[in-house]
Amino acid sequence: MDPSTKWSTRRWRRVGWPVGALGSAMMATLVFLINLTILIWISSTLKFERGVAQVFTGDCRQAEQINTWAHFGINVVSTLLLGGSNYCMQILSAPTRKEIDTAHAKKKWLDIGVSSVRNLRNVSTRKVVMWWWLGLSSLPLHLLYNSVVFASLSTNEYDIVLASEAFLNGGSLSAYHEAWIPELKDIQNRARYWDHLEPAECINAYTAKYLNTRRNLVVVVTDSRSSKNTSVQQILHQSFHDSLEVRAHAGSRNFPEWNINYCLSEQVAGKCRVNFILSIMIVVMICNAGKALVMFHIAFCLKDSSLITIGDAVDSFSNNRDQTTREMCLSSKESIRAGESQGCESKIASYYEAAITGYDAVTGIQVQKVGFSRTWKAGPVKYEPRVKGWFSAVSRGRGVACLVLFFCCMVTVIICLIFSIKATDSNYGLNRTALDYIHLGIGAVTPTTVITGWDITSIVGNAVIASVLIANIPQSILSLLYFLFNGVFTSMLLTDEWSDYAHKRKPLRVSDPKPGQRSTYFLQLPYRYAVPFLILSGILHWSVSQSIFLAQVASYSKTGELIDPAAVSTCGYSPFGIALTLIGGTCLALSTVILSARRHKPGIPLAGSCSAAISAACHGGEDVDTTAPLQWGVTSPKGEKVGHCAFSDKDVRRARAGKLYAGVVKTD
């Protein structure tokens, strides 16, 4: 290998997209190290029970804050991993010039500048395997990551003592078995300091699904129907499971047999917990490590000169013209698709393959013979300038998939918001204001926002696993939407950049720049669009994680001792979180509508990401200097009946409406 080739290889690895791939790999490695540090710290300092460790136990407001910030951090790093994966997947799906030539020989075109599934049939197997790994490893990350940390609330067993006023004043307890006396004495001594509740307030408080801030209760009655010589009429003990049954049948606002005067309720601090699941973290770290390794491989070992941006394609096709697109200078993506046939005779492909004398050892592009049959319809075409909206640049399949999935998601979010409000109102027994829903918190596990009454164990046989899957399926759908919207935005902005070349001279923006060319680290999507989109995606992932989430209920005895740390495993919901998700989705929709309503400047056929249309615009002659600023326009001499348009570093003229163009320059 000569020195210039060695220099080119070293430089290729140190600029352009390899830098972005290396940045993605280092970011994935940093996330892995953070996860590993957290795992080691928790494993060495906390005790695991059934694979779950208690990170925090105490005040519910503090637990809510810890849980919220933990999920904020999780969604920041998961969004960065998603963005890095998308970046590398676009690199892997980008075709080389050789792969494009082979596809063009079969009357097929490939996508350039966007992440493309259709390209996978034409790129190398190694790149396809890495592409699928990056894509599939994102599934468990977003399906599980948000459930590594979750919150749980407590519910308390309690005694209900029905007693007369005399009980509070030291009345007799002699009629009861002496085993009950110490407990009753304790309640008798403390009850006068408890919360005073009216009968309606008492019923509302003690028919809640989960009793986490109250415990024992003294119900003061006005008359006695017992002949016992005692101030206590009856003692009821409510365990966790019994309380669920009582609530299920509670329809009366009065206890039977006695008229309630008032109640004295023992108020206790709610015991909420923040938990950590070991097995989920291990799965997340395996996927995380796999992503990092693949990204490092892409950055250091992927040496084929893929055409990643439209600038790469213009550079390649201008320096080594593609003979299959001669005399097609007004071709657009639309016209290429209209001229496609379902199949291609093998003799055409064979004839084309025979016309290729070899491939350049450094660039990998074709060395061709001239004058063989082309595979697309060519000839003079009358130029008819059209003004098209940005959304016309999006492929039909990508656009339909994005719109349908997004519409279904938004309808689902609206339905969930309506049902969550109704369920919360039903649990409270009254209508609430918007401020009340905000005060419920975002992502907070509360007695009124824990889902009950469903048999989720029928899904996978385990309540925790079932709850994790249900809570995080929206995260996976949101990740798919990220890829789709990224493709939509990239297609629109790619075409806008393309249309600019008809109006002003610009240097090519390429992935491996030479002096005079521009570089890019975010591939085809400019920073001013890529960064806000990534931030909005992260906010949506976080708001979804706070809209529906894994939740557990721990049961405590009437004396405050833990009975079962996972008495109930289910999902919780947050009306406020769902509302934030709806707002974020609306912002995304409005941004897309505003961008898609913009108009491309007329003056050049819109090639989009179509390799054939891009190639057709690059027959500018032998002396095109692609390191200089280029412009697309008429390059043929004035007065010719059939003109020719191409990219050129020299002066060009605007194409005129109604004039025929399709010729080639004499040196072509």
Residues with Cβ < 8 Å from 412, sequence gap 6 or more?
none
Query: Which residue is listed with tokens 């926002």?
Result: 449
- Tokens representing 173? 């307890």
Burial letters for 321-332: b for 16+ Cβ neighbours within 10 Å, e otherwise? bbbbbbbbbbbb
Q: pLDDT tens digits for 339-374?
A: 653 333 333 333 334 444 444 444 444 444 444 444
- The number of residues making up the chain comes to 668
Give Cα separations from 517 to 279, 500, 520, 551, 622 (angstroms): 49, 16, 10, 54, 19
**For all residues of the chain together, what is the average pLDDT?**
81
Q: How big is the CA angle at 550 (ends 547 and 555), to the nearest 5 degrees?
A: 125
Side by side, the strands of the sheet bearing 158-163 are: 195-197, 260-267, 214-221, 158-163, 232-238
Taking the C-alpha atoms of residue 626 and residue 638, their distance in angstroms, rounded to an integer, is 24
Q: What residue segments make up the domains of the chain, in order of their start?
A: 153-274, 333-391+600-661
Answer yes or no: is pLDDT of 560 > 90: no
SS3 label, residue 343: coil
Quick: pLDDT tens for 210-265: 888 888 888 888 765 554 555 666 667 666 555 433 332 333 444 455 677 889 99
Is the distance from CB of 374 to CB of 321 less than 8 angstroms?
A: no
What is the rounded distance in angstroms from the CA atom of residue 297 to the CA atom of residue 301?
Answer: 5
pTM strictly above 0.75: yes
State how far the Cα of 636 lies from the Cα of 649, in Å rounded to an integer.
14
CA nearest 205: which of 256, 158, 241? 158
Q: Which of 582, 580, 577, 583 is nearest to 67 (CA)?
A: 577
Tokens 């997209």, residue located: 17
pLDDT above 70: residue 505: yes
Least confident of 46-60, 80-94, 118-132: 46-60
13-23 tens-digit pLDDT? 456 788 888 99
Rounded distance, CA 149 to CA 607, Å? 47
32-55 residues labelled b (16+ CB within 10 A) or e (exposed): beebeebbeebeeeeeeeeebbbb
**Residue 122 phi, psi (nearest 5):** -120, -10
Structure tokens at 181: 């006396």
Which residue intervals of 46-59 are DSSP H helices?
Answer: none
Better-predicted residue by pLDDT, 370 or 91:
91
Q: How far apart are CA 527 and CA 512, in angstroms?
A: 18
pLDDT tens per residue across span 127-158: 999 999 999 888 888 888 988 998 888 888 88
| Closest to 264 in 3D by CA, of 187, 197, 189, 184 | 197
Say what the pLDDT of residue 425 is: 67
* Predicted pLDDT at 312: 92
406-433 tens-digit pLDDT: 999 999 999 998 888 887 766 555 566 7
pLDDT at 252: 41
DSSP H or E run through 323:
none
Q: How far apart, in whole angstroms, are the C-alpha atoms of residue 231 and residue 90?
A: 79
Question: What is the rounded CA–CA span in Å between residue 136 and residue 89?
Answer: 11
pLDDT at 311 over 80: yes
H/E run at residue 57: strand 52-58
Positive/negative CA dihedral, 207, 212, 216, 219: negative
- The CA dihedral of 279, 291, 66, 205, to the nearest 10 degrees, is -60
pLDDT in the model for residue 289: 95
Backbone φ, ψ for residue 619 (5° rounding): -100, 70
